Structure 1
C-alpha cells in the first residue's frame, strides 16, 4: 500500500515537469522520483520546501508528457499540485500558465 501511494505521489508531482523524452525515460525515472522528491510535494500547500539537489537532478531528466498522461483524480488528492509546480520551477523547469495535467491547471503567476 505504501509503495502504491508513493507511486501516485510521484506521478502527480511530475505534472510540473516539461521535457521531451520517451516512454522508457518515463518508466526509468519513476522510482528515482519517488525516492528523491515525494517529501517536497505532499500536502499541505504550505510551507513549501526547496527541493534537494538530488531531487532536482531527477526532475531535470523526467519525461513530463509521459508522466502527466498518468495523472488521475486519485493522484491529485494525494499530492499538492501547487507544490509540484513550485518544485519543478525551483529545479529550473518552467511550467507555462494555463498548462493542464489531470484536472489541475497551472495558474498565472
Structure 2
C-alpha cells in the first residue's frame, strides 16, 4: 500500500513537472509571437524610412544630412521597434549602418536611448 502511494506521488510530481514545462513553453511562444506581432506593426515605419532615407541609413557611402521628408518619417516612427526589426532580420541588418541611423536621428532632433542597438 505504501509503495502504491509513493508511485502515485512520483507520478503526480512528474505530471506537475510536465505541466510546468508546458506552461513555460507556451509562455515562451507567447513572448516570441508578441515580439513578432509588434514588429509587424512597425513594418510600415521601416518601409517609410527606407523610402525616404535610403541613402542616409544604408551602409554604402558617406553620412549625408537627411531631407525634411526623411526627418518627418523618422520622427513619427517607432524607432526602438524599427531597430528590433532591423536586428531580427539578418539581410536587413547587413544593409543598414548603425552609425548612420544614429547620425540621422541626431540630425532630425531624435533622442535615442543609450545602448540602443540598431543595425550591425
- TM (norm. structure 2) is 0.55
Q: In the TM superposition, what whole-angstrom CA distance separates every residue of 1:10-56 from its partner, at most 9, and x where no partner exists?
A: xxxxxxxxxxxx76862433332121111111224x62100000000
Is 1:39–2:51 an aligned residue pair? no
Q: Which residue of 1 aligns with 2:72?
A: 57
Does structure 2 retain, via aligned residues, the 8 Å contact 1:25–1:62?
no
Q: In the TM superposition, what whole-angstrom CA distance separates every residue of 1:52-79 from its partner, at most 9, and x where no partner exists?
A: 0000000000012322222233322211
What is the distance in 1 between the residues matched to 2:114 and 2:81? 19
Is 1:30–2:38 an aligned residue pair? no
Q: Where does structure 1 lack aligned partners over 5 or more consecutive residues? A: 1-21, 105-109
What is the distance in 2 between the residues matched to 1:96 and 1:77? 22
**Which segment is superposed worse, 53-62 or 77-86?**
77-86
- TM (norm. structure 1) is 0.59
> Please, what is the CA RMSD of the aligned residues?
2.5
Is 1:95–2:112 an aligned residue pair? yes
**TM-aligned CA distance change 1:101 to 1:53, over 3 Å:** closer
Task: State how many pairs are aligned.
Answer: 81
Which protein is richer in helix relative to its size? 2
Is 1:80–2:97 an aligned residue pair? yes
Q: Which residue of 2 aligns with 1:69?
A: 84
Q: Which structure has the higher relative contact order (CA within 8 Å, separation 6+)? A: 1
Does structure 2 retain, via aligned residues, the 8 Å contact 1:25–1:63?
no
